[in-house]
């Protein structure tokens, strides 16, 4: 006995076939809702990525500036103690040296960043002139670069031609492939803000262990010797360096223990050299 599809469908009275317009009307609101949810999630993720990038960039300036500040204060104080200076002189010398070195570090960082930006902008203008003069040769050159990295010719040509439709992006890729560096920002505001964040971290964290030499102002019953304060200073400075070195691992692929020991080792070696030379030369 042969049963047709019509005989199977006919006993179901509520089964109807919707026209395409009706089907789109049913699923349209649901699609719009899903698209709205997707757009909101995409916008929130983009905002989080942007905020995370900003925090990571300035976080790097904070960590590196703080580490340099602590190491510098350890060197200055160690040399001062090696010379046999009193704690009042050591405190004055450490604070003034930290403040003065902020100008040196900040100025060097700013002018070197500006020189790097000028160099990259010159390379960008050169690539832009070549792009406007002979666009085809620049596309072929970028395609050849991709082929040398293992991409087949058809894919490399397709990718290079697609990117060439956006002149700014295409030129940045050419500069990156030729020099191996990314184009920096076009204004000084970002560099200045980055330098200011680094300098504030440099001075504050460098001054933190120096606060140990303020103990005589608060200890009126017992006299605290300079050597005792120096030992406490070294413990505080080494602890700060250890913590900052461990946090530095978030900006690299190294393990936190490795970066922490490296930071403490460099600070300890520099302090030992400063103390030894100062003690030898002053005797």
Q: How confident is the model at residue 183 (pLDDT cuts 50, 70, 90)?
A: low
Helix axes 87-133, 135-148, angle to 10 degrees: 120
pLDDT: which is higher, 188 or 60: 60
pLDDT: which is higher, 187 or 43: 187
The answer to whether residue 11 scores a pLDDT higher than 70 is no
pLDDT at 181: 65
CA dihedral sign, ordered 235, 236, 239, 240: negative
Does residue 199 lie within any of the structural domains? yes
pLDDT tens digits for 57-107?
678 888 988 999 999 999 999 999 999 999 899 999 999 999 999 999 888
pLDDT at 91: 93
Nearest to 206 by CA among 55, 110, 58, 101: 101
pLDDT tens digits for 153-176?
888 888 888 888 888 888 888 787
- C-alpha 162/C-alpha 96 separation (Å) is 57
Does residue 165 lie within any of the structural domains? no
| Range 172-201 burial, b when 16+ CB lie within 10 A, else e | bbbbeeeeeeebbeeeeeebeebbebbbbb
When the pLDDT of each residue in the chain is averaged and rounded to a whole number, the result is 78
pLDDT at 262: 92
pLDDT at 229: 93
Percent of the chain at pLDDT exceeding 90: 31
pLDDT at 192: 83
Contact 122, 178 (CB under 8 A): no
In this structure, of 16-20, 62-66, 83-87, 135-139, the range with the lowest mean pLDDT score is 16-20
Q: How confident is the model at residue 16 (pLDDT cuts 50, 70, 90)?
A: very low
Does residue 1 lie within any of the structural domains? no
pLDDT at 190: 77
HEC secondary structure over 69-120: HHHHHHHHHHHHHHCCCCHHHHHHHHHHHHHHHHHHHHHHHHHHHHHHHHHH
pLDDT: which is higher, 276 or 3: 276
pLDDT at 113: 79
- C-alpha 15/C-alpha 20 separation (Å) is 16
- C-alpha 93/C-alpha 112 separation (Å) is 28
Does residue 10 lie within any of the structural domains? no
Q: How confident is the model at residue 1 (pLDDT cuts 50, 70, 90)?
A: very low
Domain count, the chain: 1
pLDDT at 186: 63
| Range 134-169 burial, b when 16+ CB lie within 10 A, else e | eeeebbebbbebbeeeebeeeebbebbeebbeeeee
Does residue 114 lie within any of the structural domains? yes
pLDDT at 272: 95
Domain that holds residue 69: 64-132+187-210+225-241+262-282
The answer to whether residue 268 scores a pLDDT higher than 90 is yes
pLDDT at 57: 66
Does residue 24 lie within any of the structural domains? no
Does residue 157 lie within any of the structural domains? no
Burial of 108 (0-12, 13-18, 19+ CB in 10 A): exposed
When pLDDT is averaged across residues 252-280 and rounded to a whole number, the result is: 91
Does residue 246 lie within any of the structural domains? no
When pLDDT is averaged across residues 215-242 and rounded to a whole number, the result is: 87
pLDDT: which is higher, 115 or 50: 115
Residue with tokens 């001054």, as numbered in its chain: 207
Q: Please, which contacts does 242-249 make with residues 24 or more away whose CB atoms are closer than 8 Å?
A: 244/63, 244/66, 244/67, 244/70, 244/205, 245/67, 247/63, 248/63, 248/64, 248/67
């Amino acid at each position: 006995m042969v049963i047709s599809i019509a005989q199977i469908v006919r006993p179901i009275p509520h089964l109807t076939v919707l026209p395409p317009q009706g089907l789109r009307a049913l699923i349209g609101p649901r699609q719009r809702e899903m698209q709205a949810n997707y757009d909101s999630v995409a916008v929130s993720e983009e905002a989080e990525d942007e905020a995370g990038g900003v925090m990571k960039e300035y976080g790097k300036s904070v960590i590196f500036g703080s580490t340099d500040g602590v190491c510098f204060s350890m060197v200055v104080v160690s040399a001062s103690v090696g010379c046999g200076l009193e704690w009042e002189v050591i405190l004055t010398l450490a604070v003034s040296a930290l403040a003065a070195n902020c100008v040196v570090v900040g100025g060097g960082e700013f002018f070197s960043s500006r020189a790097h930006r000028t160099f990259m902008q010159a390379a960008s203008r050169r690539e832009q002139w070549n792009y406007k003069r002979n666009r085809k040769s620049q596309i072929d050159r970028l395609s050849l670069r991709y082929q040398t990295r293992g991409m087949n010719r058809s894919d490399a040509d397709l990718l290079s031609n697609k990117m060439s439709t956006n002149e700014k992006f295409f030129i940045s890729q050419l500069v990156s492939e030729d020099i191996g560096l990314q184009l920096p920002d076009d204004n000084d505001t970002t560099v200045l803000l980055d330098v200011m964040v680094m300098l504030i971290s440099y001075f504050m964290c460098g001054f933190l262990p120096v606060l140990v030499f303020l103990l005589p102002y608060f200890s009126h019953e017992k006299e605290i010797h300079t050597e005792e304060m120096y030992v406490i200073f070294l413990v505080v400075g080494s602890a700060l360096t250890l913590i900052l070195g461990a946090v530095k691992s978030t900006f690299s692929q190294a393990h936190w223990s490795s970066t922490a020991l490296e930071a403490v080792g460099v600070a300890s070696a520099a302090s030992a050299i400063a103390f030894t030379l100062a003690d030898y030369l002053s005797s």
